[in-house]
Amino acid sequence: MILELKANSLDDGPGIRTVVFFKGCPLSCLWCHNPESKRTEAEISFAANDCIDCGTCREICHQQALSKINPFYIDRSKCNLCFDCIDSCPSQALTRVGKTMSTDEITDLVLKDKPFYDVSGGGVTLSGGEPTMFADYCGELLRKIKSHNISTLVETCGQFKFETFERLILPYTDIIYYDLKIFPTDLHRKYCGANNEQILENFTRLQKLSLTGRFSIKPRTPLIPGITDTENNLKLIADFLKQLGVNRIQLMQFNPLWYEKEQKLGLTTQTVFKNQRWQDREKMACCENIFKEREIEV
């Protein structure tokens, strides 16, 4: 299940890239910035700003699930995901989130931007959701993209079966961006919905393999206020990396830009983060220092 393809991305790896977002994730991080990519099923999204209130969809809906009275327009308990309303919506306020696409379809689409990858040292990034959940598909897609001499990058949360990853995905991957979110496993379970032993184990093994030079791996930590950006957590991560001989990490500044996305899907679970602002520079510097003290480049 593919969420979307995003062209002209400048922040998901080197150069200009196209990002293929997968839908579905084994973790359920409280702060997830792509809430629409959690579930593996297609969903309906409603953008109130785009709606011209023509009423077409309300006439078409067999379930009477659509009404202005509903807090997010769609009564998800009634909606049976027939998607008829989406085809009828002239303003595309109602849209389908997630679709099945063949690897050939995606390859054709990403190929169109090859001139930009070539001049910028960019390529294609698989992200999500969690692409490794669909290892067979992913491997096939990466192989096809690679055959056109396009650089590939996989963003992963690390929750995968190592052997499958090594066999299907790794041979066609140039760069891995690997999330290390929370080090203490109990906290990881609390905030991300799963233990992290496998994640740390997989990272250790990949890090060793990367020394062959066939691919590179870069750990990343999203800085979530009060959850991942605590001194304790960052120190533990830093020590872990130092012990493995890893000398660089990417810290991702917290941004508050995803609340709207939730509303479109009718989700309200993450109100705990409302009113959060961009992380300030001082806090960023503090976090960075923890790594710099251990000679890890940020």
Partner 1 sequence: MIKEWGVPVDKQVGNLKSWTTNVAARSALSAMAFCYSNFDRFKKYLHSDQGWINFSAGIKTENNSVAQTIVFENGKARVKSGVADDVTIQLVFVDEDSLKEMASLPPNEIMNMVLKNRLITRGSMAYLQLFNLLISVLMKDKQIKQMRKQKMDLRGSASIEKAEDTFSPRPQKEFLKAIDVDPGVKYLTDDPYLSKYSIKDFPRLVGFINIHFNQKPAICTERASILTNWFKENGFENKNDHQPWRPELRQGYGYKHLMENRQPIIRKDDLIAGTTTTKEIGIPLYPDTHATLIWSELLTVSERALNPYDISPEEVWELNHRVFPFWLDRNVREWVRKQYKYPLCQQLDERFAVNFLWKTVALSHTIIDYPKLLRLGAAGIIEEIKAELLADKEADQQKKDTLQAMILCYEGIIAYARNLSRQALLEAQLETDPQRKAELERLSAICQRVPEHPCTTLDEAVNAIWIHWVAVHMESTNAGYSLGRMDQWLQPYFAADIEKMGSSDEIEAYIKHAIELIGCFYMRCTDHLPMTPDIGNYLFGGSSSDQAITLGGITPQGDDAVNDMTYIFLKVTELLAIRDPNVNARFNNSKNSVTYLKRLCEVNVNTAGTPSIHNDEMVMLSLAEFNYPPEHLRDWAATGCVEPTISGRHIGHTNCMMFNMVAALEMALFNGRHPLMHWDLGPKTGEPQDFANFEEFFHAFCTQLAFIGSLSCEYNNQLGEAHSVIRPTPMMSAMVDGCIKSGRDATKGGALYNSSGNACIGLADITDSMMAIKKLVYEDKRFTLKEVCNALENNFSGYELMRSLILKSVPLFGSGSQEAIDMANRITDFVHSHFGSQKNFRGGPYTTGFWSMSNHVAFGTLTGALPSGRLAGKPFTPGLTPEAHASKSLLENIKDVAKLNPANMNNNIAFNVKVVPSAHDSHEQVVNNLYSYAKAYCDLGGMQMQFNVVSSQTMRAAMANPDDYRDLLVRISGYNAYFVTLNRDLQMELIERAEYGL
Residues that bind partner 1 (CB under 8 A): 6-12, 15-16, 33, 49, 52, 54, 56, 90-92, 112-113, 115-116, 118-120, 122, 252-253, 255-257, 260, 277-278
> What does each C-alpha distance from 177 to 2, 52, 297 come to in angstroms?
19, 41, 15
Please, which residues have CB within 8 angstroms of residue 118's CB and are 6 or more apart in sequence?
none
| Cα separation, 1 vs 98, whole angstroms | 6
Closest CB 121 distance from partner 1, rounded Å: 8
**Quick one: 56 or 70, whose CB is closer to partner 1?**
56
**Quick one: 57 or 237, whose CB is closer to partner 1?**
57
Distance from the first to the final alpha carbon of the chain: 34
**Quick one: 20 or 206, whose CB is closer to partner 1?**
20
Closest CB 268 distance from partner 1, rounded Å: 17
**Quick one: 94 or 180, whose CB is closer to partner 1?**
94
Closest CB 181 distance from partner 1, rounded Å: 16
| Cα separation, 130 vs 92, whole angstroms | 27
**Quick one: 49 or 77, whose CB is closer to partner 1?**
49
| Cα separation, 244 vs 221, whole angstroms | 16
- Coil, helix or strand at residue 80: coil
Closest CB 167 distance from partner 1, rounded Å: 30
> What does each C-alpha distance from 8 to 79, 126, 196 come to in angstroms?
35, 14, 33
Closest CB 89 distance from partner 1, rounded Å: 8
Closest CB 115 distance from partner 1, rounded Å: 4
**Quick one: 162 or 258, whose CB is closer to partner 1?**
258
